[in-house]
Amino acid sequence: MIALVPEMALNGLMLGLTLMLVALGLTLVFGIVRIVNLAHGEFYMLGGMVAWYFAVKVGLNYWLALVLAMVTVSLLGAVTERFGFRYFRSNLVPSVIL
What pLDDT is stored for residue 95 in this prediction? 67
Q: How many domains does the chain have?
A: 1
Concatenating the DSSP letter of every residue in 4-64 gives GHHHHHHHHHHHHHHHHHHHHHHHHHHHHH----TTHHHHHHHHHHHHHIIIIIS---HHH
What pLDDT is stored for residue 36 in this prediction? 76
Give residue 29's pLDDT band: very low, low, confident or very high (50, 70, 90): confident
What pLDDT is stored for residue 98 in this prediction? 65
- Give the CA radius of gyration of the chain: 17
**Host domain of residue 72:** 2-97
3-state secondary structure of 66: helix
Q: What is the pLDDT of residues 41-85, one digit of tens each?
A: 788 899 999 999 999 999 999 999 999 999 999 999 899 888 887
**What is the CA 13 to chain-centroid distance, rounded?**
18
